[in-house]
Amino acid sequence: MGLAQQQLMAELEDRLGAGRLLCEEEDRRKYGRDETEDLQFDPDLVVLPSSTAEVAAVLELAARERIPVTPRGAGTGLSGGALPVRGGWVLSVERLNRIRRLDRENLVVEAEAGVVLGDLQRRLADEGLFYPPDPASRDSCLLGGTIAENSAGPRSCKYGPTRKWVLGLEAVLADGRIFRTGGDSRKNVAGYDLTQLLIGSEGTLAVVTAATLALRSQPTVRVSVALPFPDLAEAAGAVSRIFRLGFEPAACELLERRAIELVARHLDVPAQLSSCEASLFLELDGNDRDELLEAASELAEALGGSTDLEPIVALDESDQRRLWQIREGIAPAIKAHSSYKEADTVVPRSALADLIRAARRIAADEHLEAVAYGHAGDGNLHVNLLRGALAEDEWATRRARAERLLFEAVADLGGTVTGEHGIGWTQREYLPLVCGPTTLELMAAVKSAFDPAGILNPGKIFQES
């Protein structure tokens, strides 16, 4: 470490106090990866501010020294968004972990970016309150990360992604200035909606330090239904029908046969689910048990009419948990089975079957296997390309080719290249498939308006930054 570097660290320590800087190799390795497959970009330094003022101090110093700063939550991201691909510092928000204010009267909470989402949800649930976004990483991911990526999860089907629940933000600009957007108001058209602009901007415009969230009362009853289908097209077709018929499931997930087969290596799976071509997992929620049961049986009848396969209706909490463990077991089961590359595809609901067929064809052409599952109600399927028996270099070439063809197919079907994982580092080349040059130019102009020096999370979203 050179003298200038040592002086800078001393200055940082001076501003933040002791124990807020990590520069050992082990730490830098740890903060140099996330949950994306095979990425590693070590930061020069990891900084752990514990207040908004400290975040501001860090950014001020970084701006002065023109050091790139990459904000980071828990590192559960799936597109490399929190990795310092251009070096510099990682600014972890993990110590900004206070729930600042819970306004029970108005169903609003203000929490810092480093609060673990699941902790927040449980704390709220204890009081009968509900904050719906539920990415699979909920027990480790941080609120700030969910805002950066506009995280969603199964219940986005009824409740929408993170952006539907954020009323206001506190954030710090690349130059260290603290600002606020929005507020507590549920309706607000006072100036441009910078809250919405920051959500999903992947830490490239500002570092979000706290958020004001709208809450609702917790639904008191949930019913889960698993519907097996004898063929894929029928399962996919049922998805659009659910919404046309006016049902409003909290979650509507599709699992194709191969996904369930892989889970069945680790968990007990009911026979009708492991033997069918595709299943829909639905959750209904509300406050009236009889009403939900009636809706569940109407749903099963309306959708499963043409099949002899018995639907599973789960009422007990433990039965429901068992069902959803199957769904949540897919990603780890794939990970355990093979090297893989996950594509976060979105298409119109009516194109779900076309998407899966295209994925299978593209994968087969490259001697890969495609396994699709996910948030069918939102048209958002995670298509996993599996390596199988391919050698490392073959795998690298073929998966890249297949992934591009897959996203081209998605764009042709009127969809988009990421529903909830973000563009980050890994998806940059696909963004032009769904954004024209003028739109991309506007995005770059917005980036410059917020961060003219290009210090904040450089290298992300855009191909040439």
Q: Which is nearer to a copy of itself, 28 or 341 (CB)?
A: 341
Q: How far is the CB of 375 from a copy of itself (least distance, A)?
A: 7
Q: Which is nearer to a copy of itself, 288 or 317 (CB)?
A: 288
Q: Kindly tell me the burial class for residue 404, based on how many C-beta atoms sit within 10 Å of its own C-beta (0-12, 13-18, 19 or more).
A: middle
Q: How far is the CB of 34 from a copy of itself (least distance, A)?
A: 16
Q: How far is the CB of 342 from a copy of itself (least distance, A)?
A: 15
Question: Number of helices (H) and strands (E), helices first, in the chain?
Answer: 17, 18
Q: Which is nearer to a copy of itself, 2 or 191 (CB)?
A: 191
Distances (CA, A) of 411 to 71, 385, 397: 30, 18, 22
Query: In which element (H, E) is residue 387 found?
Result: none
Total Cβ atoms within 10 A of residue 258: 20
Distance CA 365, CA 347 (A): 22
Q: Which is nearer to a copy of itself, 223 or 269 (CB)?
A: 223
Distance CA 159, CA 165 (A): 9
Q: How far is the CB of 22 from a copy of itself (least distance, A)?
A: 29
Distances (CA, A) of 185 to 40, 101, 131, 210, 211: 41, 15, 17, 16, 13
Distance CA 9, CA 12 (A): 5
- Short-list 130, 8, 151, CA closest to 74: 151
Q: What is the largest CA-CA distance in the chain?
A: 75
Q: Which is nearer to a copy of itself, 229 or 430 (CB)?
A: 430
Q: Which is nearer to a copy of itself, 109 or 276 (CB)?
A: 109
The 3-state DSSP class for residue 372 equals strand
Q: How far is the CB of 179 from a copy of itself (least distance, A)?
A: 4
Q: How far is the CB of 266 from a copy of itself (least distance, A)?
A: 28
Q: Which is nearer to a copy of itself, 318 or 438 (CB)?
A: 438
Q: Are 386 and 330 in contact (CB under 8 A)?
A: no
Distances (CA, A) of 286 to 8, 88, 315: 55, 48, 13
Q: Is 66 left (phi over 0), alpha (psi -120 to 50) or beta?
A: left
- Short-list 135, 134, 131, CA closest to 123: 131
Enumerate the H helices of 73-178 as residue ranges: 117-125, 143-149, 156-159
Q: How far is the CB of 279 from a copy of itself (least distance, A)?
A: 21
Q: How far is the CB of 67 from a copy of itself (least distance, A)?
A: 22
Q: How far is the CB of 111 from a copy of itself (least distance, A)?
A: 17
Q: Which is nearer to a copy of itself, 376 or 386 (CB)?
A: 376
Q: Which is nearer to a copy of itself, 40 or 106 (CB)?
A: 106
Q: How far is the CB of 406 from a copy of itself (least distance, A)?
A: 15
Q: Which is nearer to a copy of itself, 13 or 193 (CB)?
A: 193
